[in-house]
Amino acid sequence: MARDEPHAGVHAELADAVAHAPPSGRSGWPARQRDARGASHYASASADIVLGICVAMGFTTLLDQAIFTLAVPALRSGLHASTAEIQLITSVYSIAFGIALVPAGRLGDAFGRRLLFLVGLAMFTGFSVLGGLADDARTVIAARVLQGLGAGMINTQIFGLIQDLFTGTAQARALGRYAMAGGLSALVGPILGGLVLASAPPDIGWRLLFLVNAPFGVAVFCMALRHLPRQRLSDRRFSIDLIGLILLSAITLALMLATLVGSAAMPSRRVCFAVALAGLPLFLAWEAVYQRRGGTPILSRSLVGSCGYVIGTIVAMCQFAAGVTLGMVSALFFLDGLHLASLLYAALSIPAALASTASAMWSWRFVRRFGRGGTVFAIAGYALAVAAQGWAAEYFEVRWIVLTYPAIVLLQGVASGLIHAPNQAMTLAQIGQDEGRGLAAGFLQLSQRLACSIGMSWGTGVFLVRASASAGSAVYRDAFVEVLMPILLLVAGALAAACADWASRRAQRPTA
């Protein structure tokens, strides 16, 4: 399963920095603080401290995502949660994260990143504790929503601080360190989660996976309170496309609610689909009106008019949703269906984390050498690995499923590392203006998160409903294979879009 998806936004920012970096080095601190040599040295040291805070906080939020998957089966049995409640628990974090991205970025520009960073950190840490102490599934759902909002607020301030304090190659190196924190969290998360679940009683283990965020959060909060810059970092006109954000959130929420299962949710599916279908043209019309009025929309005409950007966003949405959904369903299959120990499953998942991190580090050479054609073949390789996982689940004995899993996810990890960063680099390269690149990067992250929330809700619901029809590992096998088929369709959608972009680029290439 793909392990680099949670920090895919890091690659988007890193790609943008590398593609458009001037030859200068570190900017250090705002220009008015760099007049004297001593002040410049102090500012450089302060910028390094801020970068350390950003990397530490990035590691903490991404660690939460990496270990939460392991907590779901134990949480489900501990709270006696229904399938619909589990669907919401697994998906609302991503939708809340995505919703927070745009307004948090605008608010950080207007009021300073320090305030937004501290508020987001307090929310993420405090509601992690609430989730760990919850006595019912609804409290966990609420905690995950507010955690996601806090993480989204933090994420935009981290990227904003790095962009404000560093320029050129120094900015690319800073974003690279943040990306390494994401890879480290993907490696540490399963091991830490498996150890906690293996050593603690079942009803306590999943709670500890929530509470593990608290000491990290408190330590980073104290450092941020002391070292983050207080001044406003931008004098640009304050603009939040609130109506556009509400419309887009309503469309996503309607689609997600349409995937919920259970007697209470089933009758409302048609209504949810109708709301989503009606909301889409309304959202597009409002974005056009808002931009004509001089505001900064979530989705501008320049983005919609760029064929390469639209195709790249489709690739990112399909591949991101497929990878995260596959990760969640794989954990449920191995832990609930095959009754694998959580620590053993974590150990089996390590090759994916190592492979995706290594291939992502090499992906820049890969994309320079092969271009869009390289991502086409990487997506095809990922599809082959997903098909192999389904074949193994359908026909192999349990021991052979377990033995072949590390090799399969190793291929998935290599492929995913070669897909996300190159695709985002090429997608953002389609936008030429500085402001356009900022909007493009923001909408790309937002679209990935919203697609992820819908995919996880649907995949979890289908798997749990089919698996609960009767007991036995054979039922879990059938449920897993059934979910893998639409996941393969998502990957096929990403492949088709990438092929279309590849063909378009080859057609535009000048002939000798």
3-class SS letters over 164-227: HHCCHHHHHHHHHHHHHHHHHHHHHHHHHHHHHHHHCCHHHHHHHHHHCHHHHHHHHHHHHHHH
Reported confidence tier of residue 42, pLDDT bands at 50, 70, 90: very low
Where does the pLDDT of residue 262 fall: very low under 50, low under 70, confident under 90, or very high at 90 and above?
Answer: low
Q: How sure is the predictor about 445, in pLDDT bands with cuts at 50, 70 and 90? A: confident
52-61, 183-192, 431-440, 456-465: least confidently modelled range: 431-440
This prediction's pTM:
0.81
CB 68 within 8 A of CB 209: yes
456-469 pLDDT, tens digit each: 888 888 888 888 76
| Largest distance between two CA atoms of the chain | 74
Kindly report which listed range (234-243, 271-280, 287-296, 308-317) carries the lowest average pLDDT score. Answer: 234-243
Q: Is-contact 160 109, C-beta < 8 A?
A: yes
How confident is residue 382, by pLDDT bands cut at 50, 70 and 90? very high
- Whose tokens are 């320049």? That residue is 302
The answer to whether residue 35 scores a pLDDT higher than 50 is no
For 63, the token pair is 């660690």
Query: Can you list the alpha helix ranges (DSSP code H) found in 296-430?
Result: 301-304, 307-332, 342-370, 372-395, 398-428
CA 138, distance to chain mean position in Å, is 23
Per DSSP, 266 falls in state G
110 touches 234 (CB < 8 A): yes
Q: Residue 243, exposed/middle/buried by CB under 10 A (0-12, 13-18, 19+)?
A: middle
CB-CB neighbours of 70 under 10 Å: 26
**Residue 77: its pLDDT value, please?**
86
pLDDT in tens, 166-178: 776 677 677 767 7
Q: Tell me which of 431 and 290 has the higher pLDDT.
A: 290
Output the pLDDT for position 5: 53
Q: Give the span between the Cα atoms of 86 and 83, in whole angstroms.
A: 5
* Per-residue model confidence as pLDDT tens digits over 400-423: 999 999 999 999 989 988 888 788
pLDDT value at position 376?
93
Q: Region 322-335: what's the mean pLDDT?
A: 91
33 pLDDT band, cuts 50/70/90, is very low
